[in-house]
């Protein structure tokens, strides 16, 4: 069955350091992946996405890497700031699956001053 | 432009009652999907509506239902509420169905069943 899992439930980093959040997925038919950030009391906020025909995509301070060989996705946040503290989810969409997203369990990122 | 609007923000219901939640998508978006978020199960897909038709359905009992109106606004209904239905219910809108792109979530409705 489908499953998207995260390796670490909590990640603590020092302000200014780079953060790396990992995600494993099991469905090789997934063709689109999204990273979301969720702050307390809010809905998930889109960070960055990547299609399965790419292996890297960069945004502002964020980079997503996709390794289809080992079904692994990672989110890198450069120069982590206190405002980055939140829960981060990866999500996958199956080709032909409409807009159904399968979410990972989430990683709590804590930025220490 | 306005984001995805969900109403109400908070609800407290008694076991056995029913509840209706509302979602207004971003203007121009025709796909609306619903998710349930709980600490134990995380974010789980309920269903997706596109052009007033249900396109996908998750693994939830028939007590969970939804619909979409001609203006793309969507409602979901939960009948015969159980304690385990307590959750944050999120809707997300997207321009099209199948692309998954531009997927934007609302802030959710926090349902508490007592």
More confident residue, A79 or A41: A79
The answer to whether B43 contacts A89, with C-beta atoms less than 8 Å apart, is yes
The answer to whether B107 contacts A41, with C-beta atoms less than 8 Å apart, is yes
What is the rounded CA–CA span in Å between residue B46 and residue B23? 14
List Cβ neighbours of B63 (8 Å cut-off, separation of 6 or more): B78, B79, B80
The answer to whether B48 contacts A89, with C-beta atoms less than 8 Å apart, is no
Instruction: Select from B92, B12, B86 the least CA-distant residue to B45.
Output: B92
Burial string for B59-75 (b: 16+ CB within 10 Å, else e) reads ebeeebbbebeeebbbb
Smallest CA–CA distance from A6 into chain B, residue: B42
- Determine the pLDDT at residue A7: 43
Instruction: Select from A80, A99, A61, A52 the least CA-distant residue to B58.
Output: A99
The answer to whether B42 contacts A106, with C-beta atoms less than 8 Å apart, is yes
Q: For A29-68, what is each residue's pLDDT tens digit?
A: 898 999 999 999 899 999 999 999 999 999 999 999 999 9
The answer to whether B100 contacts A102, with C-beta atoms less than 8 Å apart, is no
Cα dihedral B5/B104/B60/B43 (nearest 10)? -110
Cα dist. B14→A43, B9, B67, B77, B110 in Å? 25, 17, 23, 15, 14
Q: For B60-107, what is each residue's pLDDT tens digit?
A: 999 999 999 999 999 999 999 999 999 999 999 988 765 556 789 999
Two tokens at A54?
A: 């790419």
Smallest CA–CA distance from B38 into chain A, residue: A105
Cα dist. A17→A14, A78, A102, B28, B97 in Å? 6, 7, 30, 40, 38
Q: What's the pLDDT band for A12 if we cut at 50, 70, 90?
A: very high
**Is B78 part of the contact surface with chain A (CB cutoff 8 Å)?**
no
Candidate from A43, A45, A101 with C-beta closest to B108: A43
H or E element that contains A95: none
Q: How far away is chain A from the Cα of B98, in angstroms, using its nearest Cα?
A: 4
The answer to whether A43 contacts B90, with C-beta atoms less than 8 Å apart, is yes
What is the rounded CA–CA span in Å between residue B75 and residue B93? 13
Candidate from A91, A100, A106 with C-beta closest to B56: A100
Q: Identify whether the C-beta of residue A89 lies closer than 8 Å to the C-beta of residue A73.
A: no
* Dihedrals phi, psi of B57, to nearest 5 degrees: -140, 135
Q: Identify whether the C-beta of residue B60 lies closer than 8 Å to the C-beta of residue B38.
A: no
pLDDT above 90: percentage of residues in chain A: 74
């Amino acid at each position: 069955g489908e499953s998207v899992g995260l390796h670490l439930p909590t990640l603590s980093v020092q302000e200014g350091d780079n953060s790396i959040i990992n995600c494993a997925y099991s469905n090789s038919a997934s063709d689109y992946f999204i990273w979301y950030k969720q702050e307390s009391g809010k809905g998930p906020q889109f960070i960055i996405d990547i299609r399965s025909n790419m292996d890297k995509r960069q945004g502002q301070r964020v980079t997503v890497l996709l390794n289809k060989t080992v079904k692994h996705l990672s989110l890198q946040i450069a120069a982590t700031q206190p405002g980055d503290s939140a829960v981060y989810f990866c999500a996958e969409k199956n080709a032909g699956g409409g807009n159904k997203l399968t979410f990972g369990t989430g990683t709590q990122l804590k930025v220490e001053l | 432009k306005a984001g995805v609007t969900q109403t109400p923000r908070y609800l407290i219901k008694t076991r056995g009652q029913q509840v209706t939640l509302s979602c207004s998508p971003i203007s121009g978006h025709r796909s609306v999907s619903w998710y349930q978020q709980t600490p134990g199960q995380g974010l789980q897909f309920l269903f997706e509506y596109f052009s007033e038709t249900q396109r996908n359905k998750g693994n939830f009992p028939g007590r969970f239902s939804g619909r979409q109106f001609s203006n793309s606004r969507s409602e979901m209904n939960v009948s015969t509420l159980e304690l385990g239905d307590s959750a944050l219910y999120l809707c997300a809108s997207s321009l099209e169905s199948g692309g998954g792109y531009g997927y934007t979530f609302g802030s959710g409705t926090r349902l508490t069943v007592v």
